[in-house]
Amino acid sequence: MANNLEKAASNGLDDFVKVYVKEVFGKDQKDATPNEIAAATAAWRPYRDAAKGDGSLSYKKAISGDLNIGKIMTKAIQGQSIDKGGDPFEFTEIEDGINLVFDSANNRVKSFGEIWQGILNMGSLGLLTYFSQQAKLLNQINEKTSLTGKMSEDFRESIMDASVYANRLGISFSKVADGMEQLITESGRFKLINEDTINKLSLTSKVFFDSFSDGVSSFEEFQKVSRGARDAMDAIDKAGHSTLELGLNAKTTVKTMVKELEKLNQFGFKDGIDGLTRMVQKAQMLRMDLNNAFSIAESVMDPTKALELAANLQVIGGSIGAFNDPIRMMWMATNDIEGLQDALIGTAEGLATFNQESGSFEIVGADLRRAHAMAGALGMDLKELTNLAVQSAQRTSAAADLMSTGLILDEEDREFLTNISQMKGGRMVIETVDENGKNIEIALDSMSKDQADYLLSQKEQFKEMSTMDIARHQVTLIENLNRDVSFMAATARVEAGKTLTNVAERFGFDPTLFAEYSKGAIDKAQMSMLQLMGSENSDLSRLVSQVLDKQEVNKSTGVHNTVAGTVTHTHIHTSPVVLDDVKRNTINDPQYKSEITGNSLLMGQSYLNPFTP
């Protein structure tokens, strides 16, 4: 049975529903109940995803027999798509569009009628998704966080609107909703953010965090240093971009920076968050533990310990820079901890020397004994100190190599070129590809101006990229197209859902509860709405406006005197046309008659209940 269902699922929703109802319930589709149709619909995506596990279409299969365009296109796309999770039918992909047009089972293009029916089905399922998400959001925000009233309503509307933008980034509605619940839970307060800030969070978390949840967690860390949610996202965006321009991993920098934010309240940073960011970047360049600098700073705040450290390092000897002056160390701990980090790097660098035979930097002889003593005095692990010594000496050598070429480079350019280089055969080199895609190796000490310009042009690309550009470069073209399609579908879904909600609420009808209660009824309501709308939402708006402007049940005529003269106007009043088809369908379905009579979802409005005497 599973194989039949997987095969049907790969042919599209319509085929799958027919097969599922037959296999599971032993019925033809026309005889199935709405709940059984709903169960089949909900099961489609899991079976379709399971069918994808069969692998790509082999060359032998592709060239044997008739050419099946639908299957070939589907298989080609599947390998470049990313599973984004989310609610059923939340993400619309190119593959869905292919299944909408092609009948892969019969290797043919579907008729216009079949395509239109598929569009109607997708629209109906889209509305079901919208109202199901609304119900979930109501539960998460009101019940789990105790937020209620107009404040909750406005917050939930912001979340729903922001979920559309999140879909464009491959972030599901559930992740956004869970994140907003997490935001209130972690802060212990009704910490509300608007749609623009949620959108910024979605984009920033996609590019610079491992998950949306990590981005939300950063808010509380920033709050500890008096930064709000929007300020937090702006600071992270700035730190991420500056890190990319240095040729470093931006996610690593951001993760460490957020973790160490509380240090802003403990030590003196010359430029606040920017200063902390530079310290994190420097530690990343040198593969050093940032906490070593913080531990030394905490120690030298005590005048006695500052004097003791300076005295011990003077006895050990070597180039100890600022560590030679206890007063300066104390000042840097409270005003310029970044300078203290630089002093540590400079002191460690003097321990390493270049070995011509091995082609690498090493710590040997008397320097190794000094390293042991120095590590003890600084309260550092010997391995940390020696690694820092080798890395800092290596970077100094790279800078010297670049200077020897006569190239005029600013500090940022030198850092970028150094960060993407590596030691190889005793020289600092950059392994890359040229403009023709050929593998090349460029030594820093013999780099030409053209080579430098080519490499630095890649750095300039990071400067020109927006955060959205970076997000789109993280995935394939197909995945970007999938996300754009999902974004458009989500926009249509949410706007259509809002329109239907506004209409229904004017009549005292709650579509969110209705969606939870009955998928079958929602399908019928959607079909009715589509018939009313035709191809333009504006037609529906005019119809609704006409209905809502009527205040009486019967036809009435009134005469008004105006400056221009006497005007006679006629009011024609009808029952709510929008719900007529729902009523008729419901009356004809005995399964719903007993369930709907007197149900709370009708909000006590007898005129909406066709079974009310």
Residue 265: the pLDDT is 92
For residue 455, the surrounding DSSP H or E stretch is helix 449-464
Q: What is the number of domains present in the chain?
A: 4
**What is the reported pTM?**
0.64
- Which residue type sits at 608? L
Looking at the fold, whether 2 and 49 belong to one and the same domain comes out as yes
For residue 289, the surrounding DSSP H or E stretch is none
Local confidence band at 463 (pLDDT 50, 70, 90 cut-offs): confident
pLDDT at 120 over 60: no
- pLDDT above 70: percentage of residues in the chain: 65
As a whole number of angstroms, the distance between CA 432 and CA 450 comes to: 14
pLDDT at 100 over 70: no
pLDDT at 441 over 50: yes
406 to 444, 445, 460: CA distances (angstroms): 11, 10, 21
Beta strands in 200-328 (DSSP E): none
Residue 299: the pLDDT is 93
As a whole number of angstroms, the distance between CA 137 and CA 501 comes to: 15
Residue 263: the pLDDT is 93
pLDDT at 129 over 50: yes
As a whole number of angstroms, the distance between CA 33 and CA 6 comes to: 22
Two tokens, residue 138:
């109501």
Is residue 593 one of the residues assigned to a domain? yes
Section 487-509 average pLDDT: 67
Greatest mean pLDDT among 112-116, 382-386, 430-434, 542-546: 382-386
Looking at the fold, whether 383 and 409 belong to one and the same domain comes out as no
Residue 332 makes CB contacts below 8 A (sequence gap 6+) with 268, 297, 322, 339, 340, 343
Looking at the fold, whether 363 and 428 belong to one and the same domain comes out as no
Residue 574: the pLDDT is 39
Looking at the fold, whether 298 and 383 belong to one and the same domain comes out as yes
Two tokens, residue 79:
């390998």
Residue 244 makes CB contacts below 8 A (sequence gap 6+) with 250, 462, 470
Greatest mean pLDDT among 33-37, 99-103, 480-484: 33-37
**CA-closest candidate to residue 216, choices 278, 171, 164:** 171
Among residues 54, 70, 85, the one where a domain terminates is 54
Looking at the fold, whether 374 and 423 belong to one and the same domain comes out as no
pLDDT at 187 over 60: yes
Looking at the fold, whether 381 and 414 belong to one and the same domain comes out as no
Looking at the fold, whether 358 and 298 belong to one and the same domain comes out as yes
Is residue 126 one of the residues assigned to a domain? no
Among residues 389, 417, 450, the one where a domain terminates is 389
The domain containing residue 359 runs over which residues? Answer: 287-389
Residue 586: the pLDDT is 45
Among residues 464, 483, 503, the one where a domain terminates is 464
pLDDT in tens, 513-556: 544 544 455 455 545 554 544 444 444 445 445 544 544 444 44
Looking at the fold, whether 303 and 361 belong to one and the same domain comes out as yes
| Higher-scoring residue by pLDDT: 520, 179 | 179
Length of the chain: 613
Section 280-294 average pLDDT: 92
pLDDT at 605 over 60: no
pLDDT in tens, 205-256: 999 999 999 999 999 999 999 899 999 999 999 999 999 999 899 999 999 9
3-33 b/e (C-beta count within 10 Å ≥ 16 → b): eebbbbbbbbbbbbbbbbbbeebeeebeebe
Looking at the fold, whether 291 and 384 belong to one and the same domain comes out as yes
Section 406-416 average pLDDT: 89
498 to 52, 130, 143, 385, 505: CA distances (angstroms): 34, 9, 23, 61, 10
Burial of 66 (C-beta count, 10 Å sphere; 0-12/13-18/19+): exposed
**Phi and psi for 563 in degrees, rounded to 5?**
-60, -35
Residue 558: the pLDDT is 44
Residue 125: the pLDDT is 65
Local confidence band at 296 (pLDDT 50, 70, 90 cut-offs): very high
As a whole number of angstroms, the distance between CA 449 and CA 205 comes to: 37
pLDDT in tens, 337-347: 999 999 999 99
CB 421 within 8 A of CB 429: yes
Is residue 439 one of the residues assigned to a domain? yes
Is residue 137 one of the residues assigned to a domain? no
Is residue 158 one of the residues assigned to a domain? no
Looking at the fold, whether 349 and 431 belong to one and the same domain comes out as no
Is residue 246 one of the residues assigned to a domain? no
Is residue 416 one of the residues assigned to a domain? yes
Local confidence band at 57 (pLDDT 50, 70, 90 cut-offs): very low
Is residue 377 one of the residues assigned to a domain? yes
